[in-house]
Amino acid sequence: MRITCPLCGARDRREFTYYGDAVYADRPGADAAPEAWDAYLHLRDNPAGETRDLWYHEMGCSAWIEVTRNTVTHAVLSSRLLAERGTGGPSGGDISGKMKPAVKRRGKPA
């Protein structure tokens, strides 16, 4: 699978680290009800078809990217910088300082 990084161009999937569904960027505020945190942490859809995912360009520009792809055909439909997403959440879509994927390298613990 090839992912188009908005900063670096088309790259192999192995340059990126998959983080999960793009709803991770829509984090509840610190004063949110426990039910909102429960839904954020534990409730996930398992869609067949179009989905939005978060990818970290680990071997490139270190940007967080939101990728829209089809889980049935494996086609990548679009990609954009997460910071350009403009979410209404408390982070504003900028999660760069909040999430760092575990780096797995040979001979070193994750």
Contacts 24+ apart (CB under 8 A), 64-70: 64/19, 64/95, 64/96, 64/99, 65/3, 65/5, 65/6, 65/16, 66/22, 66/25, 67/3
Residue 4 neighbours by CB distance under 10 Å = 15
CATH superfamily of 2-84: Folate-binding superfamily (3.30.2270.10)
Give the pLDDT of the chain (110 residues) as one tens digit per residue: 899 999 999 999 999 999 888 877 778 898 999 999 998 888 877 789 999 999 999 999 999 999 999 999 989 999 999 988 765 444 444 555 555 554 444 444 44
